[in-house]
């Protein structure tokens, strides 16, 4: 029996191990997941705020349907990246919990509309799960699928990538040094590099391949990224970074980083309480945003608002953090209007996707990236043409699918994503994480929990991220010979 590889210059050779070999940590992770699901089912069974008992049962079934793929992945014990599993897991906070806790906006809809909506979510989950389990593909073994892009001193490059992304985040949010024409390009490159580096480093940490000194550097840079990101008064950016990092660690170790996750949840939850007061001052009151040296005072003020009992009480009553991630009420809105008051769009928003791939240089009048979201917002009376330029309403894939084709649309989107994720996963079984297919799966992992996007934004932003994530290693390999 050979000793484990202790070479810190490389990541594991493939996202999964040969059939039959399982992670020693898989059973505890599966046991913890089952315990969490059982506790959640028991808790909501006795304390649910759902007014109709039928909605309670539907909510519990949605909870099971969302977590089942992740539990199966944990039980299998291989190291396949759980892209589909994370994609389905978003149904917990977007659909199950809002239904079980009686989301405040659900009171606007009839029991019949809520029932139809819940059945639609369950139908989507059933089609997606069945399609995923039924789809098979042969692993690819050609050089394009099995060769690493960068094989030498990878941790050094990853460390530099973290530094670049952290520096860019600080500069773009705290200064006006970067010309506006360059912001979009630099954002795609730097955030693409950040996705790749944070996931791989955290995965290496989970596998025991990251030296102690590099762990320290990684944590410092990661925390700084989150702090800089949150100065924009959007918590979702920093939380996305943390979620991807936790996923990297879990896929590498088959263990949950319970303490870091608890710290992140407490920090985000606390700041969420004071976010509205901060936005009122810095957005509507147009107070100057902090400079680098003013960040400590900025966060001190923010925490002060968050801990103010009156502000905290109002926030918990009207803007709870879990309610902010809900898409259940948006799907209820679409179901209540379609097709009785608004006919199905019959693919209109999907027809807007191809135009997004045309460079604006060739089409100066190209619609904005969120054209599909704006189309839905105007169609269902949530916004007018002018207001779409100021705010964007999160619709999500399921609401868009139902608006276009009803229940058939829900089945179509479930089957499409499940089929694509399973094919890519099976093809890449023997692909090293630092190969092009491996890096592509990292991007898919990052996009799998972007539940609030419409298909147009999901695909085009994924495309832009792939150019950055796959393009940078290509340049490193071909220009530096690494």
- State residue 6's pLDDT score: 40
| CA distance linking residue 307 with residue 241, whole number of Å | 25
- pLDDT above 80 for 466: yes
Q: Which of 65, 189, 197 is nearest to 126 (CA)?
A: 65
Q: Give CA–CA dist 375/191, Å, rounded.
A: 28
Same domain, 212 and 138: no
Residues 96 and 161 both lie in one domain: no
121 with 332: CB under 8 angstroms?
no
Q: Are residues 263 and 159 both part of a single domain?
A: yes
Q: For residue range 408-430, what is the model confidence (pLDDT) as tens digits? A: 999 999 999 999 999 999 999 99
Q: Which of 311-320, 328-337, 345-354, 411-420 has the lowest mean pLDDT?
A: 311-320
The first and second tokens of residue 242, run together, are 């943390």
Identify whether 217 is part of a domain: yes
Q: State the number of CA atoms in the 13 A half-sphere of 378 facing the CB.
A: 14
Is 117 in the same domain as 169? no
Within this chain, do residues 94 and 169 fall inside the same structural domain, yes or no? no
Residues 164 and 313 in one domain: yes
pLDDT at residue 433, rounded to an integer: 87
| pLDDT for residue 311 is more than 80 | no
Q: What are the start-end ranges of the H helices in 101-209?
A: 111-134, 143-146, 154-174, 180-207
Per-residue confidence band for 3, with pLDDT thresholds at 50, 70 and 90: very low
Q: pLDDT class for 18, splitting at 50, 70, 90?
A: very low
* pLDDT band of 2, cuts 50, 70, 90: very low
Report yes or no on 109 lying in a domain.
yes
The lowest-confidence range among 71-75, 155-159, 172-176 is: 155-159
Domain match, 132 and 172 both: no
Q: What's the alpha-carbon Rg for the chain, to the nearest Å?
A: 23
Q: How many structural domains are present in the chain?
A: 2
Which of 324, 357, 373 delimits the end of a domain?
324
Residue 437 inside a domain? The answer is yes
Q: What is the mean predicted confidence (pLDDT) over 363-381? A: 88
CB-based contact 90:325 (threshold 8 Å): no
Mean pLDDT of 232-247: 91
Whether residue 300 sits in one domain with residue 233 = yes
Domain boundary among 289, 324, 359: 324
> pLDDT category, 155, cuts 50, 70, 90?
low
**pLDDT top residue among 123 and 480:** 123
Q: Are residues 51 and 199 in the same domain?
A: no
Does 101 reside within a domain? yes
Give the distance, in angstroms, between the CA of residue 224 and the centroid of all CA atoms in the same chain. 20
Q: Are residues 52 and 130 in the same domain?
A: yes
Percent of the chain whose predicted confidence (pLDDT) is above 70: 88
Average of per-residue pLDDT across 392-421: 96
Average confidence score pLDDT of the chain:
87
Is 458 inside any structural domain?
A: no
Helix (H, G, I), strand (E, B) or coil at 367: coil
Q: Is the pLDDT of residue 22 over 80?
A: no
Query: Is the domain of 129 the same as that of 162?
Result: no
Q: What pLDDT is recorded for position 315?
A: 56
Six-digit token pair at 181?
């024409």
pLDDT tens string 165-188: 999 999 999 998 888 777 777 887
Residue 440: predicted pLDDT: 93
Whether 39 is in a domain gets the answer: yes
**For position 8, what pLDDT does the model report?**
42
Domain boundaries, position 251: 154-324
Q: Which pLDDT value is given to residue 25?
A: 54
Average pLDDT estimate for 385-393: 78
**In the predicted structure, residue 12 carries a pLDDT above the cut 60:** no
Provide the pLDDT for residue 140: 93
Residues with Cβ within 8 Å of 27's Cβ and at least 6 positions away in sequence, in order, are: 75, 77
Confidence of residue 144 (pLDDT cuts 50, 70, 90): confident
Question: pLDDT grade, residue 52 (50/70/90)?
Answer: confident
């Amino acid at each position: 029996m050979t000793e484990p590889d202790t070479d810190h210059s490389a990541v594991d050779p493939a996202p999964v191990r040969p059939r039959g070999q399982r992670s020693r940590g898989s059973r505890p992770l599966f046991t913890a997941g089952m315990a969490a699901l059982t506790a959640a089912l028991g808790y909501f069974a006795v304390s649910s705020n759902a007014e109709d008992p039928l909605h309670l049962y539907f909510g519990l079934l949605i909870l099971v349907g969302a977590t089942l793929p992740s539990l199966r992945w944990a039980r299998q014990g291989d190291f396949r990246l759980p892209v589909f599993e994370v994609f389905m897991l978003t149904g917990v906070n977007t659909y199950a919990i809002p239904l079980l806790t009686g989301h405040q906006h659900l009171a606007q809809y009839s029991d019949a509309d809520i029932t139809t909506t819940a059945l639609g979510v369950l139908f989507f989950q059933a089609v997606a799960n069945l399609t995923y389990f039924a789809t098979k593909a042969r692993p690819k073994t050609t050089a394009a699928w099995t060769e690493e892009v960068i094989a030498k001193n990878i941790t050094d490059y990853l460390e530099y990538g973290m530094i670049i992304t952290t520096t860019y985040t600080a500069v773009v949010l705290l200064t006006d040094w970067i010309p506006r024409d360059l912001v979009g390009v630099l954002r795609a490159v730097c955030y693409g590099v950040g996705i790749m580096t944070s996931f791989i480093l955290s995965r290496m940490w989970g596998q025991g391949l990251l030296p102690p000194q590099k762990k320290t550097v990684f944590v410092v840079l990661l925390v700084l990224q989150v702090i800089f990101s949150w100065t924009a008064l959007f918590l979702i950016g920093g939380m996305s970074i943390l979620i991807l990092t936790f996923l990297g660690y879990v896929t590498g170790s088959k263990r949950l980083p319970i303490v870091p996750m608890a710290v992140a949840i407490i920090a985000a939850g606390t700041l969420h309480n004071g976010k509205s007061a901060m936005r009122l001052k810095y957005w509507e009151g147009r107070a100057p945003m902090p400079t680098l040296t003013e960040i400590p005072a900025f966060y001190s003020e923010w925490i002060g608002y968050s801990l103010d009992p009156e502000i905290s009480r109002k926030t918990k009553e009207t803007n709870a953090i879990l309610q902010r991630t809900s898409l259940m009420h948006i799907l209820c809105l679409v179901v209540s209007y379609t097709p009785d008051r608004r006919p199905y769009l019959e693919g209109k928003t999907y027809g807007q996707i191809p135009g997004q791939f045309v460079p604006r240089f060739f089409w100066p009048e190209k619609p904005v990236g969120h054209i599909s979201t704006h189309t839905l917002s105007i169609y269902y009376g949530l916004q007018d043409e002018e207001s779409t330029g100021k705010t964007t309403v999160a619709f999500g894939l399921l609401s868009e699918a139902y608006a276009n084709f009803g229940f058939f649309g829900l089945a179509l989107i479930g089957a499409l994503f499940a089929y694509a994720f399973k094919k890519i996963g099976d093809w890449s079984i023997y692909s090293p994480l630092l190969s092009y297919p491996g890096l592509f799966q990292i991007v898919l992992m990052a996009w799998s929990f972007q539940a609030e996007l419409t298909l147009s934004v999901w695909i085009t932003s994924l495309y832009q991220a792939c150019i950055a994530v796959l393009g940078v290693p290509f340049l490193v390999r071909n220009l530096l010979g690494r």
